[in-house]
Amino acid sequence: MATMHDVARLAQVSVSTVSYVLTGTRPISQATRNKVLAAMAQLDYQPNAMARGLASRRSRILGLLMPMDERGLGATETAFVTGAAAAASVAGYHLVLSPVGGGDLDDLRRLASQRMLDGVVLMEVQLADERVTVLQEAGVPLVLIGRTGDTSTLSYVDIDFDQTVREAVAHLVGLGHRRIVYVNHSAATLASGYGPALRTRDAFTAAMTGHGLEPVMIAAEDSAAGGRAALAAAFAQAPELTAVLAMNETAIFGILGELTGRGLSVPDDVSVVSMVTSPQVAELATPALTAMTSPGSALGRIAIEALTRHLDGPADLRHQQLLPCALEIRGSTAPPRSRQPMGADQ
Amino acid sequence: MATMHDVARLAQVSVSTVSYVLTGTRPISQATRNKVLAAMAQLDYQPNAMARGLASRRSRILGLLMPMDERGLGATETAFVTGAAAAASVAGYHLVLSPVGGGDLDDLRRLASQRMLDGVVLMEVQLADERVTVLQEAGVPLVLIGRTGDTSTLSYVDIDFDQTVREAVAHLVGLGHRRIVYVNHSAATLASGYGPALRTRDAFTAAMTGHGLEPVMIAAEDSAAGGRAALAAAFAQAPELTAVLAMNETAIFGILGELTGRGLSVPDDVSVVSMVTSPQVAELATPALTAMTSPGSALGRIAIEALTRHLDGPADLRHQQLLPCALEIRGSTAPPRSRQPMGADQ
DNA sequence: GAACTTCGTCGAAGCGTTTCGACGAAGCGG
DNA sequence: CCGCTTCGTCGAAACGCTTCGACGAAGTTC
């Protein structure tokens, strides 16, 4: 493995000159630059990341901290990651994904204090998230995907849930639906302070009330069975429902299955809209789901851009931005068929 | 940020002594050790990863290279990652995930040559995989998930596709099915030399032939539409089929949808087995899918264990291991109903 | 053309660790 | 009680890079 010394010797310049060629921190004449570049190529020189990091006190590594639960990463999260990785690469940083679970607060503290990460993007932020505190205390530059309760001192990018829900509701209301049930994440998730669940709940209430309609929300476990149970609960609370709005990629398949099981067809009997869903998942269902598609890769890109700007520019700037999901109409929504309410169902 | 110097001064010992306490490379008296430990705690000392890495020539970081396509990570891959992360943590390593796409061979070469990764686990290996060559040339210790064509010099852990297919086929044959169609990945994927697709194809042929049955395989695009098309093709080739075996988590939903669309019920008319599928995904379908569940987290754990053993032990040992998937019977398989072949269907 | 800048390069001092050789103090067999 | 190991500790030299101050040489300005 060739070092900078070898390159300098071969090019007959000093080590510092080689360094300046590499980093561009000082002007170097074209002739010298060429000599150095040639030597580097000849030796197949690659700078040693550790030495560089030690001397410059910047690793040029960005961390993307993603809690990995057993559910896996949806296409949404994946788009997010690829968007972030691409942006990092453009900015001259490596992006590493760290699967830190919720319990590893100590692990996180260690990671942060070891000066191995120049900055961090945090996914799946809770309203009150200890990880934020740990990272802030360790002095690691930070950008959130999602928001904590108090956003005053933080940079974040998040989905504009308010706007997204409003648009979804408007779509259904525009088709003529009046009785719309919102299937949210589980009660436990709500209780744990998961921002998206809380924000969509409130947004749904506001949107429905704004249309003069009664908001009905059901909490569903993140499983197919949870979706089935949720649909049963929905019919119990609102027998005459004609549309379901859901933000729960797992439960939605249970909802669909249960609908079919009850002899109801989508979209003729019940319209279904899935929120924060990727096209890929929306296409899995039959019929394909009308969905609010999340701006996954844009979120990732923007988060990284905000972070690198923060690192490279000396500015102490905060970046706060909300992006709405885009309505993509597929086969699961239609005007309601005027039919008899399900009455004594279930 | 406290350094080792600060700790040494506070504990009134030399820097090297502090280092020995930390690394355990030389004996240290209990008394001294306690002094040092106390000083470290008092200063909230964290070793600087870069300095450590530079001096010791080992970063204690392991890379997990996973191509991220837009499909997202299934629960199988996720289990894999979490298994690997846990094992790395136990062995005292950090695990970082690097979303290197297929095109970034240069990026990979750079990553490998920068001495930032002590070792690498490579996912989604092709039969002829350039990444392997690049990494080997860069001298980075390597463990594969999956296998290249020539495995003689490599460490790997992989699914035992032969055994898995045999078991799946035996399950169906045991139920009385004779006419079984295998839905594989796309023709393009097969052509690109994707090991699992190739190996299961051959294993299926062998297993069916072993039972005296004719193997019928259909290549399906990785999409719901691909699954529908595949089922149509299957009925065209084998109108009297009573069972479908599939290894394509995306297509399977299309298959299921198309089956329903043709008025065929699962499992009464057609049994369905999904291979290399996680319980979570299997439960999404209605009825829940009988599946060959992949040993995801074990694969990850074993890969990392093999890698760390290779790094810590001086031995030049190779680790080659195959793990079968486990048959989990759910609601999508049953004995075939004796019914009229579909005849001029489609 | 004297007095300043700017340009291009060099040498050397770090960055925070690990690790090697050295060395006094014990412990031990004979 | 004399040589030998072993134990516990120290000082100093790496590790491979960045960055700072310095300094001729060349341009600029009046």
Summarised one tens digit per residue, pLDDT across range B292-343 is 999 988 999 999 999 999 888 766 678 999 999 999 999 999 999 864 444 3
Of A71, A225, A284, nearest to B224 by CB-CB distance is A284
Q: Are A143 and A80 in contact (CB under 8 A)?
A: no
**How far is Cα B29 from Cα B32, in angstroms, rounded to an integer?**
5
The alpha-carbon gap from A8 to the nearest alpha carbon of chain B, in Å, equals 18
Residue A311: CB less than 7 A from any atom in strand D: no
How confident is the prediction for chain B on average, in pLDDT? 89
Nearest to B46 among A70, A96, A114 (CB): A114
Q: Strand D: list positions under 7 Å from protein Cβ.
A: 7-21
Question: CATH topology of A61-159+296-324 equal to that of A161-293?
Answer: yes
Distance CA B251, CA B266 (A): 16
Which position has the higher pLDDT, A49 or A342?
Answer: A49
List, for residues A97-155, the tens digit of each pLDDT value.
887 765 677 778 888 888 899 999 998 888 888 888 888 888 899 999 988 877 778 89
User: Which residues in B lie closer than 8 A to residue A96 (C-beta atoms)?
Assistant: 96-98
Beta bridge partners of A272: A244
Cβ distance A284 to B114 less than 8 Å, yes or no, reads no
Q: How far apart are CA A199 and CA A56, in angstroms?
A: 42
CATH class belonging to A61-159+296-324:
alpha beta
β-pair type (A142-145, A119-122): parallel
Across the interface, whether the CB atoms of B111 and A94 are under 8 A apart is answered yes
pLDDT at B102: 58
Contacts of B75 in chain A (CB under 8 A): 70-72
The 3-state DSSP class for residue A10 equals helix
Q: Distance (Å) from the C-alpha of residue B97 to the closest C-alpha of chain A?
A: 5
Q: Which pLDDT band, with edges at 50, 70 and 90, does A194 fall under?
A: confident
Any idea where the domains of chain A sit in the sequence? 61-159+296-324, 161-293
Q: Which CATH code is given to the segment(s) B4-47? A: 1.10.260.40
Cβ–Cβ below 8 Å for A250 and B280: yes
Nucleotide nearest to B11 (CA to C1'): D9
The superfamily in CATH containing domain A161-293 is: Response regulator (3.40.50.2300)
Among A267, A234, A268, A239, residue whose Cα is nearest residue A251? A234
Give the closest of A78, A257, A280 to B286, CB-based.
Answer: A257
CB contact under 8 A, A70 and B74: no
B61-159+296-323 topology per CATH: Rossmann fold (3.40.50)
The set of residues, in sequence order, having a beta carbon less than 8 Å from that of B233 and lying 6+ positions away, is B218
pLDDT at B227 over 60: yes
Pairing between strand B290-293 and B326-328?
Answer: antiparallel
Give me the helix-helix angle, B195-210 and B161-175, nearest 10°. Answer: 40
Query: What is the residue-averaged pLDDT of chain A?
Result: 89
For β-strands B320-323 and B271-277, DSSP reports them as: unpaired
List chain B residues with CB under 8 Å of A49. Answer: 114-116
